[in-house]
Amino acid sequence: APNAPLHLLLIPKKPIKSVDDLSEQDAEVVGKIFLVAKDLARKFGVAESGYRIVTNIGNDGGQTVPHLHFHLLGGSPLGHMNDRSTSHTAAPRSGTLRDAGLLILLSLGLAVTFNTWMNPRQIPWIRPKHDTSIASDQDIDALIDRAGTDSVVTQIVPSDAAGTSGDSSTSMAANTSSTQANTSVGTTTTSTSTSTTSATTSTSTNTSSSSTSSTKTPCFVAAPGEVKEIGYDAFVRLLGVNCITLIDARNEGTYAKGHIGNAMNIYGAEVQMPQNIQRIATMPRDSYIVIYCDGGECELSHEVASVMKNFGFGPIFIYTGGWAEWSKRSKE
């Protein structure tokens, strides 16, 4: 069917199959159709700008059921049809472009509304660039060397280990009392030369032990805000270090299906939630942080690292291979 802003269909009361079936007696009917079309053009305000009266004849003319009828077409696109530089499909094409533009604007409006008011995480419109570097073999070697000289283990321990911690405290208190008691006994027997020699020897031993303890290289050396990426080999080596905290940045459901070692779960997409901020703020800052997710770009790991960096954690290592690489290579 013809396409125009104004499209009226005119059908004569007398049934006529097509123009080919018109006779002299039908002249009055056809003439009346044109008079009606003229009145309708004035009524709909297209008489001055111009309009068309057309009819379709036969199958090639677009008639499915042959019957004589006329189309009154009017509106601004009709004027452009006479322009040589404009094809006859200008009107349909402009309508399609208009609809596409409206659809795009509607989609943008819905996206802005959802991300601004309905999405608590508010996805950034521009993908952030993470300021990271790649850890060298020398960096990992130095860390492993330091960790190997200390037996102190810094880990996130389960809550059921509180009883063990209490026993340890009790034992330390008992040893302190015992030491104080021995010191008291040594004081009351200073009149003999044997006791004096024993006390001197004990003091010298304790001083030497204290000096040796104070010169031990610590397992962890802080570097607040430092974030570096590591590959599979470096990640495996770091897993053998006592003073590391391993974090799985994937969602809770994926984490429950399988994770690496004793990794704790902090979902990168929800790291800004109050409960996760509180959790990070209360974590000890005396261990190396190692984070992984599914692999690849590892956006979730970078999100967690970014928040932890602001809280003074570091060094922070991001295993870029993630669970995807680990689950394959660890079985080889």
Where in the sequence is the domain holding 316, given as residue range(s)? Answer: 128-154+219-332
Q: Are residues 250 and 296 in the same domain?
A: yes
Domain boundary among 23, 47, 80: 80
- Considering the domain boundaries, does residue 200 fall inside one? yes
Residue 242 confidence (pLDDT): 83
Q: Are residues 200 and 231 in the same domain?
A: no
pLDDT of 164 above 50: no
Q: What's the pLDDT band for 123 if we cut at 50, 70, 90?
A: low
Q: Are residues 243 and 318 in the same domain?
A: yes
Cβ neighbours of residue 277 under 8 Å, at least 6 residues apart? Answer: 271, 307
Q: Are residues 326 and 262 in the same domain?
A: yes
Classify 295 in phi/psi space as left (phi over 0), alpha (psi -120 to 50) or beta. left
pLDDT of 196 above 70: no
Q: What's the pLDDT band for 266 if we cut at 50, 70, 90?
A: very high
- What's this model's pTM, rounded to 2 decimal places? 0.47
4: number of CA atoms within 13 Å, CB side?
24
51-60, 127-136, 169-178, range with greatest mean pLDDT? 51-60
- Interhelix angle 299-310/274-281, rounded to 10 degrees, is 60
Q: What's the pLDDT band for 130 if we cut at 50, 70, 90?
A: low
Q: Are residues 150 and 265 in the same domain?
A: yes
Residue 155 confidence (pLDDT): 34
Q: Are residues 132 and 187 in the same domain?
A: no
Region 233-258: what's the mean pLDDT?
A: 92
CB 54 within 8 A of CB 60: no
Domain with residue 269: its CATH number is 3.40.250.10
CA dist 136 to 44, 102, 141, 173, 230, Å?
Answer: 79, 52, 9, 44, 8
- Considering the domain boundaries, does residue 71 fall inside one? yes
pLDDT of 283 above 90: yes
Residue 125 confidence (pLDDT): 55
Alpha carbon 311 to its chain's center? 21
Share of the chain above pLDDT 70, in %: 63
Q: Are residues 247 and 182 in the same domain?
A: no
18-22, 86-90, 105-109, 213-217, range with greatest mean pLDDT? 105-109
Residue 184 confidence (pLDDT): 38
Residue 182 confidence (pLDDT): 41
CA quadruple 70, 76, 77, 80: dihedral positive or negative? positive
Q: Which carries the bigger pLDDT value, residue 78 or residue 146? A: 146
Please tell me the total number of residues recorded for the chain in this structure. 332
Distance between CA atoms of 249 and 294, rounded to whole angstroms? 8
Residue 238 confidence (pLDDT): 92
Residue 213 confidence (pLDDT): 43
Q: By three-state DSSP, how is residue 266 classified? A: coil
Residue 82 confidence (pLDDT): 47
CB 190 within 8 A of CB 203: no
Q: What is the DSSP letter of 64?
A: S
The tokens for 105 are 């604007």
Region 21-45: what's the mean pLDDT?
A: 84
Region 217-222: what's the mean pLDDT?
A: 77
CA quadruple 141, 146, 148, 154: dihedral positive or negative? negative
Residues facing residue 316 across a β-bridge: 227, 289
Q: What is the DSSP letter of 261?
A: T
Q: What's the pLDDT band for 92 if we cut at 50, 70, 90?
A: low
pLDDT of 205 above 60: no
As a whole number, the mean pLDDT across the chain is: 73
Q: By three-state DSSP, how is residue 326 classified? A: helix
Region 196-223: what's the mean pLDDT?
A: 53
- Considering the domain boundaries, does residue 278 fall inside one? yes
Region 21-30: what's the mean pLDDT?
A: 81
Q: Are residues 267 and 314 in the same domain?
A: yes
CB 316 within 8 A of CB 291: yes
Q: Are residues 145 and 242 in the same domain?
A: yes
CB 289 within 8 A of CB 309: no
67 is catalytic: no
What type of residue sits at position 5? P
Q: What's the pLDDT band for 102 if we cut at 50, 70, 90?
A: confident
**DSSP line for 128-190:** PPP--EEPPHHHHHHHHHHHTT---------GGGHHHHHHHHHHHHHHHHHHHHHHHHHHHTT
Catalytic-labelled residue, pool 69, 71, 80, 130: 69
- CA-closest candidate to residue 289, choices 307, 265, 314: 314
Q: Are residues 179 and 268 in the same domain?
A: no
- Considering the domain boundaries, does residue 269 fall inside one? yes
